[in-house]
Structure 1
Amino acid sequence: MIQKEVSLSNEFKTQTTKAITSIIIFAFVYLLTFFLAIGLTVLCVYGAISLVAAHPRFFTLALGVGLASIGFLVLFFLLKFLFKKNKKDRGHLLEIKKVDQPHLFEMIDEIVNEVGTQFPKKVYLSHEVNASVFYDSNFWSMILPVKKNLMIGLGLVNCISRNELKAILSHEFGHFSQKTMKVGSFVYNVNQIIHNMLYENESYDKMIQSWANASGYFTVFVIIAVKIVEGIQWLLKLMYEFVNKNYLGLSREMEFHADEIAANVTGNEPLENSLLRMNLSDYSFNSVLSFYEGKIEQCLKSKNVFLDQWFVLNFISKEDNIEIKNRLPNVTIEELNKFNKSKLVIKDQWASHPSTEDRVERLKKLNLKKTTNNDQLANEIFQNLNALQEKLTDILFSNVMYSKEPDFTTHENFKIEFKEKFLENTFPKIFNQYYDNKSPIQFEVSNVSLSNNQIHFRNLFSDEKVNLVYQSIALQNDIATINQISNNGLKLKTFDYDGKKYSKKEGAKLSISLKKELETINEEIEQNDKQIFQYFLNAESDNSGEITKLEKLYKNLLEFDNYYDEKISVYNELMSKLDFINYNTPFDKIKTNFVNIKPLENKLKASIKELLEQNKYNNNLKLEVKECFNSFTEKELKYFLGERYIDENLEILFTSLNNYYFLLSEGFLINKRELLNYQASLIKE
C-alpha cells in the first residue's frame, strides 16, 4: 500500500507537533479563563449577598443585582457558542452513487485499494473548479471517528485528462489516509468558538444593552463586564493567530504529502500538468460566470456553463499562444510565471496551501514516471454527462434573482458575444502585452516632433521592452513589501531576495539599492514611450498628413489620468470615514459622523453628475446602475433614524460608491483603448 511506502517528512512531524501543542494551549487558556469567570461569578454573587445582608434596602438590592450580573454576563459570553447551531449548506452539491457512475466509482475503488485508505462516506458533484475532502465537523467529531466525504467539481473535470483526474483523486485520498485530518477538525471548532466570541455578538450586545437600560444602577456594572469581555477578546485574537499559524504550517505539509501519494499512483506528470492548468481553468469558469452576471438584467442564463467554460478555455489558450496537447492547454511553469519578475521570497504563514511553483518543484524532484494513456478526457468517464452538467448549471443559477422567468442563451450566441466582448476589452495584440499593465508615461507631447531617425516597431515592443515593464512592477511591489518588513508591518525576521538571505535590519539598505535600480529601469521605459510616440507621429504623418489626432488622444488619456487621481480621492476618503458602520458605535457618534461626511457626500454627487453628463463614459452603464445613481444624486438620503441604520439608503450609498469607482476606472480604459486602437490602425494602414 502506497500509504505505508510514503514516509512522513521531519517537517511534517514537526508541524504536527506544533499544531497539536497550540490546540492544547488554547484549551488550557480557555478553561483557565472559564474557571476564572466562574470564580468571578461566585465572588460577585457573594459580594452582592453580603451587601444586601449588611444594608437591606432597595438601593443596595439594586446594586447587589448589578454586581452579581458582572460574573453572569462574562460567564454567558464564554458559553454562548454552545447555543449556536451550525448547519452546513449542501444545496449546491449533487450526490452520486455507484449505480449512476460505475466507471468513476471503479476508479475510486482502484485508488482506495492502491493508497490503502477508506472509501468515502458519500461522493458529491459540484460546479466548482476544485476537488476536496470534507466531513461534518462538530463537537463530537473531535472525539468520535467520522467518515469523510469526497467532492468533485465538474468545472475541474471539464479541464483535465482522465489520468489527471486519477492523480487529483489520489491526492484527495492521500488526505483520507492522514490521521492529522483530525487536527483540522479541532482547529475548525476552535475557530468557530473564537469567531463566535469575536464577531457574532449582535444578540449578546442587545441583551447587555437592555440590561443596562433596565436601571441606572446596572449601567456601571455592565461597563465593567464589557471591559472584561474586551480583555478576553484581545486574548482570543492572540490565540487565533497562534493556533492558525501553527495549523496552516501543518496544512501545507499535508498538501506536499498528499501530492507524493498521488505521484506514486500516477507518476508526477499528471498532477503537475493539472496544477499548472488550474489558474487557467478557474479563470475560464469565472469568465463565464462574469458574462452571465451581465445578463441578469436581460433575464438570460446558460443551459450548460461547462460547454461555455470549455470554449473559453480553448479561446484564451489560442489568444495567449498556449500549446494544445491531447486536446488540453499545456501550460508550462514559464508561462505561469511569464510576468512575475519578483526576486523576493517570503514564507506566507497564512497560506493553507503551498504555491503551485513549490508543489511542482517538489513533484519534479520525486521524478516518478509511469506509462499511461493521457489522451482520454476526464469528462468521458461520466455517464449522461450533458444531463449532469445541465443539472448542476440549473442549481448554480437557482440562487440568482431575476425579474421574470429567465430564458436560455444558446451556446453559439455565447461564443459570438464572449469573443466580441473579450476582444473589445483587450488591447491590440501587436503591442505584445506592453500596455496590459501600464499606460503611456506622462510627458509633454507637444515637445516631441517628427524624427528622421529610423525607429523599428519590433524594437519598441520587443520581449526585452515588455520585460522592463514587468521588472518595474515587480521592483515596486518588492520595495513596498521590504519596507513593510523593515517597519514591522510584516512580522518577519528574515527574507530571501535574489537567492540571498537578508535580516529585517538589512531591508532598509536593500530597499535603497532597489530604488536606484527601479529609477534606471523607469528611465528606459520613459525613453521607449517617447520613441513610441515619435514612431506613431511619423506613421500618422506618412499616411494621413495629420499630426493632431494622435496628440489629442495622448492628451485626453493623460488629462483623464490626472482627473482620475483627483476624483478617486473622494471615493477613498468617504470609504474611510464610513468605516465606523462596521463597528459598535454610540448613537450620538453615529449621527455626528453622518453630519461630518455630508460635504464629502455632496462632492461625490457632483462628481457622479459630471461623469454622467459625458456620454462617452456612461453609454454602457446598466439601467439599474443609472437608477441607483439617480436615487443617490437627486434625493437627500438619511442613513440613521432614532436608534437604527436605514439599510436601504445605506445600500444606495455604497452601491453608488462602488459604481462610481467602476465608472472612473472604465473612463480611463476607454481613453486608453481609443489611443491604442488608433495607433494599431496606423500600423494596419
Structure 2
Amino acid sequence: MIGFIAIFFLLYVVVLLTAVTLATAFIVGGIVLIAYYHNIYTVILGLALSVLGGMVLFFLIRFLFNKNTPVNPYRTEIHAGSHPQLFDFIARLVGETRITFPQKIFVVPEVSANVFYKTTFLSLLWPARKNLEIGLGLVNSLNISEFKMVLAREFAHFSRRSMKLGSYVYTLNKVLYNMLYENHSWNEMMIRWSGNGSLPGFFAHITTLIVNGMQYLLRKLYHLINRQYMELSREMEFRADALAVSLAGTAAAISSIRRMEMSSYCMDSCMHKLQELAECGQRFSNVFSVQRALITYYAGQNNIQLDAQELPLLTDSYFHTFLKSRVQLREQWASHPTREDREARYRQANILSEPATGSAWQLFSQPETLQQQSTQQLYDLLEPDEGGYDLIETATFVNSITQRHRLYEYPKAFNDYYDNRSFAPMPEDTFLPYTTAAEESISMQEIYHPEVIRRMRRFYRDQQDVETLQAIALGQFQTRFFEFDGRKYRAAEARILARKLAMHVEQEQRWLASQDRLAIRYHYNRALHHGPEAAAQLQEKYRYILMHQAFANRLNDQVVHIIHHISQLFNIGAGNIDQVWPCVDELTKECWNFRRLLHEVMNSKGYSGCLTEELYNRVMQFRQQDCVFVNDHVPDYAAIQELHEITSSVMEQYNNSNILYKNYSWSSYCVQNQLDNIPLKPALTLRIFLLLNLCVFSALAKAFAVIWRILSFQPVNTVHRTFQQ
C-alpha cells in the first residue's frame, strides 16, 4: 500500500509540474507577443494566451486545494460534568485499548459509533486529535456489554502501531478521493464559465481538457490504490474485531452486530416518517421511543422473543428464513467484512465474559431529556419551529403502522404467495369448470403450501442472480473474482454460469406459470358453487387487475427512465460538461412522456381516484408548468428535485392502490368463496355436533318419561301418546 502511494505522489508531482509549466508557457508566450510584436492581432493573441494561462493556474489551484470537509449538522457535544458515568466508562475502555482519550465527544441521532478527525494534507504530517461520535439510536438498541463491543471496535483502529499506520493510509485515501471525485465547487464553477459566452466558454473548455487529463491519469492510479486499500481495510476490521471481542466477549459481539442491523432498519423508518409527518403538521416528542416501539413491533411480526430489557433475541433460526443471493461480490465490498464473516471469527475466538445486560442508557444522565433535545434538533434542521404542529404519541403512531400493515396484508390463507409480485396473464381455457374428480384432488392448502412458497422465492432469487452474472460478464461490475454457492470463480466464467442458471430459471418459470394457472382455476371453480354470476364477477376482477398492472408497468418504466437521467445528470463531472445539455434534453423528453401518462391517470375512469387529494393538487400544479430544467445556463436542481418527488409519489400511490384492489376485491373474495365451500368447517361442525347432542338429549328425556309412566301404572293409551310424541 505504501508503495502504491509513493508511485501516486511521484506521478502527481510530474503531472502538476507539467500543467504549471504549460500554464506558465501560455502566460510568458502572451507577454512576449505583446512586447515584441506591436499590432492588433498579436496583442489579441497575446492577451488570449495570457488569460488562458491564468485560468489554467487559477482552476488548477481550485482543483488541488479542495475544501470539502463534510460536517454532521446533528452533532451535539456532551461533557463529563453532564454524563460522568459515560465518561468514566469511556476512560476505562480507553485504558484497555491503549489510545488517548478523545478530544471531544458528540452524540447524533443515528445508529452508529465513529471516531473521526480532519482528513487534510496537514493531518498526514501532524496527527490530528480524534473525536468520538456516539449514535443515540445505537444506545437505544444495545445493552452495556454490546455498547462496549461497538466502542472498543472503533478505538481498536488506533490502538496498535500497525493499526495507526492503517489510519494514516485511510486519511490519505480519503484526501485523494475528495480531490478526484468530490470537488463539487470546481465542477460548478467550470459549468458556469462554460455557459458565459463563446470566448470564456472556449477558455473554460481548454482548461477543462488540461485538468481532465490530470484527473484521468490520477484516477487510473487511484483505482489501484483503492483496491489495495480495500484489502488492507478488510484486514484492519478483523484486527479491530479481535481486540474488541477480547474485551467484550463472543456473545456480546454476536448480539451487538445483529441488533444493530434491526435497529438501523427501524431508525431509517423513523427518519422517513419524521419528514412525512412534519409536512402534515405532526411531530414526535421523542424519536427514540418510536424507534424502540418499532423494534418491538418488528420483533412481534417475526415471532422474535424479547429479553428483560425488551431487546430482541435474534437467533440463528431468524436469519435462516432469509434467502441470500448465490452470487457474492466479495471484492466489491472487501473494505468491510460481512456479518457472517465477523460472526465466524467471533465464534472461533470463543471469549467467555460476564455480560452486563443493563440498558446502555444507564451510562447517561437524564437520558429522556437528551433524547428529546436530539429530537428537537432534528426538527430544527429539518423545518424551523414556526408553531402550529401537533405531537403524535408513540402508541398512536405504532397503531397506525399496525393498521396500515393489516390494510396491505394479503389474507393468511395465501401464505405470502401473492406478496410483491404481479398477477400472471391467463389463457381463456383457465376459466373452465373442473370435473368432480379433479376438484376433489385439489385443495387450497396444497396450492399455497409453504414448500411452494419457498420454491417460488428461490426462483426469484435465481432470476436476479442471472442478471448479476450477466452484468459481471459484460463488465458492468468491476471485479476480477466472485463467489457462486460459496465457490470462487473468475469474472470470465460468469457467462457460462449465467447460461446454466438461466436454463434452470426458465424451467422454474414454466412451473410457476402452471402453479398460477392452477390457483386461478381453483378459485374460479370455487366461485362457480355460488353460481355463474359469482364466477363471472371473479373473472372480471382478475381482468381489471391485469389492466391496472399493465398501466402500472408503463408508469414504473417511465419513472425509472426519469430517475436514470437524473442520476446521470448529477454524476456528470466538470470534465464532461458537453454531456450536461444532451442529458437535460433527454430528461425534458422523458418529462413530457410522464405528463402524457399523468393525463391518463387524471382523466381515465379506470385509473382515476388512486391519488390522495394532496398529491392530486401537486400533480395539477405540475401539469401547468413546462418541463424546463435549466436556469441561467446551469441545471435547475430545484426543478429536477420536484420532478423526482412527483414521479416517485405518483408511482408509489398508484402501485399501492393496485395492492389494495388485489387484496380487497379479489383475494378476500377468493378466500370467502373458499371458506363457504369447504365441507364441515369448524363452525359448521360445531353446529351439527350441538344439534345431534340436543336430539339425543331430547330422545333420552322422552324415553325416560315413557318408562316413568309405565312404572307409575298409567293407562296404556297415555303411554302410547307419550311414545308418539
| Aligned residues between the structures | 662
Could you tell me how far 1:314 is from its partner in structure 2?
0.9
| 1:110-133 C-alpha deviation (Å, 9 max, x unpaired) | 222222222221221111011111
- Take 2:347 and 2:577, find their aligned partners in 1: how far apart are those partners? 60
**Mean Cα displacement is larger for which, 363-372 or 27-36?**
363-372
User: SS at 1:324's partner residue?
Assistant: coil
Q: Answer yes or no: is 1:563 the counterpart of 2:545.
A: no
Counterpart for residue 13 of structure 2? 31
- Take 2:215 and 2:349, find their aligned partners in 1: how far apart are those partners? 45
Q: Which amino acid aligns with 1:260?
A: A
The equivalent position to 2:323 in structure 1, one of 333, 337, 340, is 340
- Take 2:276 and 2:606, find their aligned partners in 1: how far apart are those partners? 20
Q: Answer yes or no: is 1:515 the counterpart of 2:498.
A: no
Could you tell me how far 1:393 is from its partner in structure 2?
0.8
User: SS at 1:150's partner residue?
Assistant: strand
User: SS at 1:495's partner residue?
Assistant: strand
> After the TM superposition, which residues 89-238 of structure 1 pair with which residues of structure 2 at under 5 Å, given as runs?
89-177=71-159, 178-179=163-164, 180-195=166-181, 197=183, 200-207=186-193, 213=199, 223-238=205-220
> After the TM superposition, which residues 401-550 of structure 1 pair with which residues of structure 2 at under 5 Å, given as runs?
401=383, 405-444=388-427, 447-451=430-434, 452-541=439-528, 546-550=534-538
- Take 2:105 and 2:585, find their aligned partners in 1: how far apart are those partners? 55
Could you tell me how far 1:497 is from its partner in structure 2?
1.8
Q: Which amino acid aligns with 2:212?
A: E
Q: Which amino acid aligns with 1:126?
A: V
Gaps of 5+ in 1: 1-17
Q: Normalized against structure 2, the TM-score is what?
A: 0.83
The equivalent position to 2:646 in structure 1, one of 647, 656, 662, is 656
- Take 2:396 and 2:183, find their aligned partners in 1: how far apart are those partners? 50
User: SS at 1:502's partner residue?
Assistant: strand
| 1:204-225 C-alpha deviation (Å, 9 max, x unpaired) | 44457659636xxxx7665443
From the superposition, tell whether residues 321 and 536 of structure 1 become closer, same or farther in structure 2 (CA, over 3 Å). farther
From the superposition, tell whether residues 160 and 593 of structure 1 become closer, same or farther in structure 2 (CA, over 3 Å). closer
- Take 1:161 and 1:590, find their aligned partners in 2: how far apart are those partners? 51
Could you tell me how far 1:447 is from its partner in structure 2?
1.9
Could you tell me how far 1:259 is from its partner in structure 2?
1.3
Could you tell me how far 1:641 is from its partner in structure 2?
6.5
Could you tell me how far 1:472 is from its partner in structure 2?
1.1
Counterpart for residue 539 of structure 2? 551
Q: Answer yes or no: is 1:58 the counterpart of 2:48.
A: no
- Take 1:386 and 1:233, find their aligned partners in 2: how far apart are those partners? 50
The equivalent position to 1:371 in structure 2, one of 329, 354, 359, is 354
User: SS at 2:369's partner residue?
Assistant: helix
Gaps of 5+ in 2: 677-725
Counterpart for residue 356 of structure 1? 339
| 1:322-354 C-alpha deviation (Å, 9 max, x unpaired) | 232343212234433523242223224355422
Q: Which amino acid aligns with 2:547?
A: E
User: SS at 2:418's partner residue?
Assistant: coil
> After the TM superposition, which residues 235-274 of structure 1 pair with which residues of structure 2 at under 5 Å, given as runs?
235-274=217-256
| 1:426-446 C-alpha deviation (Å, 9 max, x unpaired) | 334443333333333332365
Q: Answer yes or no: is 1:41 the counterpart of 2:35.
A: no
The equivalent position to 1:384 in structure 2, one of 366, 383, 388, is 366
| 1:21-65 C-alpha deviation (Å, 9 max, x unpaired) | 333332222211111112213333343344345522231122122
- Take 2:66 and 2:481, find their aligned partners in 1: how far apart are those partners? 42
User: SS at 2:141's partner residue?
Assistant: coil
Q: Answer yes or no: is 1:284 the counterpart of 2:271.
A: no
From the superposition, tell whether residues 590 and 92 of structure 1 become closer, same or farther in structure 2 (CA, over 3 Å). closer
From the superposition, tell whether residues 404 and 620 of structure 1 become closer, same or farther in structure 2 (CA, over 3 Å). farther
- Take 2:581 and 2:248, find their aligned partners in 1: how far apart are those partners? 64
| 1:62-93 C-alpha deviation (Å, 9 max, x unpaired) | 21222234443333333214655445434312
| 1:584-612 C-alpha deviation (Å, 9 max, x unpaired) | 79999988987887775444323213223
| 1:406-458 C-alpha deviation (Å, 9 max, x unpaired) | 22112232222222123223334443333333333332365244442333333
Contact 2:473 2:491 in 1 (8 A): yes
- Take 2:499 and 2:17, find their aligned partners in 1: how far apart are those partners? 53
The equivalent position to 1:610 in structure 2, one of 597, 600, 610, is 600
- Take 1:455 and 1:339, find their aligned partners in 2: how far apart are those partners? 29
User: SS at 1:120's partner residue?
Assistant: coil
Q: Which amino acid aligns with 2:38?
A: P
- Take 2:567 and 2:490, find their aligned partners in 1: how far apart are those partners? 36
- Take 1:517 and 1:89, find their aligned partners in 2: how far apart are those partners? 50
Contact 1:618 1:663 in 2 (8 A): no
Aligned-pair identity (%): 25
Q: Answer yes or no: is 1:630 the counterpart of 2:616.
A: no
- Take 1:422 and 1:646, find their aligned partners in 2: how far apart are those partners? 38
User: SS at 1:91's partner residue?
Assistant: coil
- Take 1:637 and 1:208, find their aligned partners in 2: how far apart are those partners? 23
- Take 1:341 and 1:445, find their aligned partners in 2: how far apart are those partners? 37
Could you tell me how far 1:105 is from its partner in structure 2?
2.2
The equivalent position to 2:55 in structure 1, one of 67, 73, 89, is 73
Q: Which amino acid aligns with 1:190?
A: L
- Take 1:399 and 1:653, find their aligned partners in 2: how far apart are those partners? 24
From the superposition, tell whether residues 73 and 208 of structure 1 become closer, same or farther in structure 2 (CA, over 3 Å). farther
| 1:384-416 C-alpha deviation (Å, 9 max, x unpaired) | 111111111111121223775322112232222
- Take 2:638 and 2:29, find their aligned partners in 1: how far apart are those partners? 48
User: SS at 2:114's partner residue?
Assistant: strand
Counterpart for residue 9 of structure 1? none
User: SS at 1:501's partner residue?
Assistant: strand
Contact 1:537 1:550 in 2 (8 A): yes
Contact 1:48 1:68 in 2 (8 A): yes
Counterpart for residue 709 of structure 2? none
| 1:272-312 C-alpha deviation (Å, 9 max, x unpaired) | 11212222211212222333333223211000111111111
Q: Normalized against structure 1, the TM-score is what?
A: 0.87
Counterpart for residue 317 of structure 1? 299
Q: Which amino acid aligns with 1:410?
A: E
Counterpart for residue 667 of structure 2? 676
Q: Which amino acid aligns with 1:469?
A: M
- Take 2:204 and 2:324, find their aligned partners in 1: how far apart are those partners? 56
Contact 1:126 1:151 in 2 (8 A): yes
- Take 2:70 and 2:555, find their aligned partners in 1: how far apart are those partners? 43
Could you tell me how far 1:147 is from its partner in structure 2?
2.0
From the superposition, tell whether residues 429 and 88 of structure 1 become closer, same or farther in structure 2 (CA, over 3 Å). same
- Take 1:622 and 1:65, find their aligned partners in 2: how far apart are those partners? 61
Q: Which amino acid aligns with 2:499?
A: I
From the superposition, tell whether residues 618 and 350 of structure 1 become closer, same or farther in structure 2 (CA, over 3 Å). farther
- Take 1:471 and 1:636, find their aligned partners in 2: how far apart are those partners? 46
- Take 2:630 and 2:512, find their aligned partners in 1: how far apart are those partners? 51
Contact 2:8 2:221 in 1 (8 A): yes
Q: Which amino acid aligns with 1:486?
A: A
User: SS at 2:381's partner residue?
Assistant: coil
The CA RMSD measured in Å over matched residues stands at: 3.3
Contact 1:160 1:378 in 2 (8 A): yes
